[in-house]
Each structure stands twice: as C-alpha cells, then as structure tokens.
Amino acid sequence: MSLEALIFDVDGTLANTERDGHLVAFNLAFEELGLDWVWSNELYHELLDVTGGQLRIKHYLKNHKPEFTHDDLDNFVASIHKLKTKIYVRLMAEGAVPLRPGVERLFAEAREAGLRLAIATTTTPANVDALIANTLGREALDWFEVIGAGDVVPNLKPAGDIYHYVLEKMNIDPKNCIAFEDSHNGIVSATDAHLKTLITVNEYTNSHQFDEAIVILNNLGEPNKPFTMIEGDATDATFVNVDYLRGLHAKHC
Ligand code: XBP
Ligand code: MG
C-alpha cells in the first residue's frame, strides 16, 4: 500500500480558527442580536467538546442558561448561527487567522509529489471557502479533490460520517491515506473510517486523548522552525514533508 492522499481537518488543524475566528464570531453575533451571552475563552474550551455551531449553542443554553426558553428554538438557533457564519466570513476576509506553521508548505510539496488532497470538517462550507480563499487564494480551493464540510452528512464528528463521505467520493482505500487532525473528536471520526491520523495539537486540545495517533506534534514545523514531537517514533525529521509522511505511512498504515 502506498501513500496516495492526505485528508485535512480544518478548524484547529489548518489554522487556529476556533479562538480567533469562531469564538469571536459567536460573541459578535450574540451582541448584534442583543443577547447578553458572552463566551469566555475558558467556557469555549469546554463548549468545543460539542462539534457544530448550532449544536454548540444548544448545548450552551441547556447547560449554562437553563432558564432560557424559546417557542421555536431550532429556528432561533439557526438564525443566530447564520449571522455568526456571516461574521466569521467577514473576519476571514479581514485576515483574522493565518494558517498554522507548515500547512502552506506541505500543501505545495504534496501537490508537487502528486498526492491527492481533500478536506473533512464539521464546519459550514462557507467557512472553509473563506479561510482557504483568504489565506491561499481562491484558486487553492481547486487543490482539494473533495471538500467534505458541514451537514453534507447526517452526523458530525466524532461520528465517522464525514470521513466515510470523503473516502467514498475519492474512491480510495483509507490504507492509502493519512488524516490530519487536532482534536479527540476528530481522531475518533477519522479512526471510525479506518484512517491513520497525524495530530497537531493546539491550546484547546493539548490535553486530549489521542491513543490512535501515528504521531502527535505541536505543529507541522518549518525548515527554520522545527516541530516538537509530543509522542511518536524517534526521527531525524524536524518538519513534516512528504518523505516523512511516506515513512510514517510505511510503518503505521
Ligand atoms: C470544528 C467545529 C465547528 C466550528 C464551528 O470541527 O466544531 O463546529 O467550531 O463551525 P472540525 P460552524 O475541527 O472537525 O472542523 O459554526 O460552522 O458549525
Ligand atoms: Mg479540528
């Protein structure tokens, strides 16, 4: 089995969009709608256990605002979320969030090496578009053979639906792929689809369980900015490139 494709999560993996994008957008949406809900960074850390913005708002209401009632909660939450998405897209256009170290370089090297690229995320498709278009340019959206996002599948991560969907669209065996994730929910989802996963942690996920990971790094690293290995096989590599991925794949997949 050879390495043929790389499948990337978005939020927290390609960029630290949760802290500087989603959290900011949720709070601005609440404010604009005259709601007195303010999510601190600490609270958001907890709320991130629930994937999907609408489910996250409902989880918040149930656990932190039990007194709150609404005749048509689903529509109300959907309308808040619609505004949140609009604000998030605007923040991306303002350049609020850069890609994480090594991401742009790895995309270029993988494309050069003829590896296939795809995205598997629970976030809303407009958010993926906005992040990619504003960091790499709109043409970069075509680098991805499949962009699996949001409610294109019935169940969000940690369910494996989105990875199953992407693999089916690519018509590829998971054994020929490596997934890139940052969270426990993400690796549970990828593992359900029989994918092996490389983890790059961030401030929200560095205490998560990643039992199935083939390696856990602080980030992908750059030639002048080595990664820190948190767990994994000893290596001379100091940044993630295609050779390093081929080695990992040969050993673990
Ligand atoms: C990210 C998420 C998303 C975003 C919010 O998961 O959990 O819910 O926080 O996006 P992943 P929406 O890292 O797997 O992409 O508000 O658009 O749902
Ligand atoms: Mg993520």
- CATH code, 239: 3.40.50.1000
Q: Where is the domain boundary, 45, 62, 93?
A: 93
In tens digits, what is the pLDDT along the chain, a chain of 253 residues?
899 999 999 999 999 999 999 999 999 999 999 999 999 999 999 999 999 999 999 999 999 999 999 999 999 999 999 999 999 999 999 998 999 999 999 999 999 999 999 999 999 999 999 999 999 999 999 999 999 998 899 999 999 999 999 999 999 999 999 999 999 999 999 999 999 999 999 999 999 999 999 999 999 999 999 999 999 999 999 999 999 999 999 999 8
Structure tokens at 18: 């949760």
Q: Do 32 and 142 belong to one domain?
A: no
C-alpha 12 – ligand 1 centre gap (Å): 9
* DSSP designation for 227: -
The domain boundary, picked from 44, 78, 93, lies at 93
> Which pTM does this prediction carry?
0.97
Indicate if 146 and 229 belong to the same structural domain: yes
Query: How far apart (Å, rounded) are the C-alpha atoms in residues 1 and 165?
Result: 21
| Domain assignment of residue 178, given as a range | 5-16+99-252
Which pair of structure tokens corresponds to residue 51? 């994937």
**How many domains, in total, are found in the chain?**
2
* Distance in angstroms (rounded) separating the CA atoms of residues 159 and 154: 9
218 and 138 co-located in one domain: yes
Domain shared by 50 and 105, yes or no: no
**The domain spanning residue 59 has which CATH number?**
1.10.150.240
Same-domain status, 153 and 242:
yes
How far is it, in rounded angstroms, from Cα 35 to Cα 232? 45
Residues 37, 133, single domain; the answer is no
Ligand 1 atom closest to residue 51's alpha carbon, by position in its atom list: 7
User: In a mutational test of the pocket of ligand 1, which residue from 18, 122, 201, 205 has the highest number of ligand atoms less than 8 Å from its CB?
Assistant: 122
- Between CA 160 and CA 142 the distance in angstroms is 24
Give me 241's structure tokens: 């490139």
Residues 112 and 87 in one domain: no
